[in-house]
Each structure stands twice: as C-alpha cells, then as structure tokens.
Amino acid sequence: MICPAIAAILAGDPHAVSQTHEIEQICKGGSTVWTEVKTTLLHSDTGALQVLGVSRDISARRQMEAALRRKEENLNRAQAMAQTGNWVLDIATNRLESSPETYRLFGLPQGQPLTAEDFFVCIHPEDREVVAAAWQAALQGARYAIDHRIIVGGEERWVHEGGINAMLRVNHSWRQVW
C-alpha cells in the first residue's frame, strides 16, 4: 500500500509536495515531546522519489499556547461574571475586536466582524449624538466615560462605557485601545 502523501505527489497534486504536521511523540523514558515535522517529497534527476524531513521540538510553544488559552478562558469567565467586556478599534481598517462578553451584552452573534458603525447601530437613537461626541472627544485625547442606552432584541439596556484611550502600532497599523 502506498502512503497517501506519496500517492498524491505521483498523481501530480501540487499541494502534496510539502506537508507540516504536529505530532506528540513518546520518548524512551515514557515522557512525551511535541514536534513539528515538515516533509517535502522531491523527484530526483533519475525520477526517484526522495523525502526531505525536518523535525523540531515545539513542546515549549505548545505549553505556552495552552497557558494562554487557559488565561483567555479565565478572562472570559471573569468578564461574564462582572458583565463587562472590552474592545479594540483598528483605525486603519475600522474593525472592532470585541470580547465574547461584549458580543453578549450587545446581543451580537459571537465572532461577527464588527465596525464602529455596527457599534453605533446598537446605541439608542436618542443617545447616538451624545455618544458620537464623546467618541470624537476621546479620539482627540479626552477620557472616554459615558452612560448610554443600547437596544438589544427590542429591549432597552443601560451600559457604562469607559476606558483608557491609547494608540498602539501593531503590524504597521494604528489601533485605538479602550
């Protein structure tokens, strides 16, 4: 039986030439190590298949990723208990990155891409002008702190928004952090 990766390259699949996998391997003493294995199938001048493989230990990275996931889960639980959320505005793309609790508080589908305009649609029509003024003042350096109403599923809710106004440069893009 031919290995599926080799069968794919023999069939001419251009994506089958190189593959990367993360594998948990058992060591001689019974401990485990996570490795990233990259294999590339090559044709030699004679037409024979050759395999070039590189393996590296990624155990520390996997441990850091797991720790980061646990911290994010703890933050999300704490925000849900406190009924508070957070968000970041990427000014260049007009995209809001919001915490799961912010989505819940505003009655928005989790993970839905958001813009500043999407946020303003949620604001009670009678409060939009005052929130827009506070927003503009914050963009000029003023402290952002305001109580206003939002409409969620036809229900009126009061929210307090506030935070620090900081500019971060991330991947060549300015981001507004509240």
Last residue in a domain, options 19, 41, 57? 57
Residue-wise pLDDT tens digits, 107-136: 999 989 999 899 899 999 999 999 999 988
Q: Are residues 86 and 142 in the same domain?
A: yes
Q: What is the pTM of this model?
A: 0.68
Q: Are residues 48 and 113 in the same domain?
A: no
Inside any domain, residue 108:
yes
Inside any domain, residue 99:
yes
Last residue in a domain, options 57, 74, 101? 57
Inside any domain, residue 65:
no
Residue-wise pLDDT tens digits, 131-176: 999 988 887 778 888 999 999 999 999 999 987 655 555 566 665 5
At 12 the three-state DSSP class reads coil
Count of domains in the chain? 2
Inside any domain, residue 75:
no
CATH of the domain at 143: 3.30.450.20
CB-count burial class (<10 Å; 0-12, 13-18, 19+) for 113:
exposed
Structural domain including 43 reads: 4-57
Handedness of CA 142, 146, 149, 153 (dihedral sign): positive
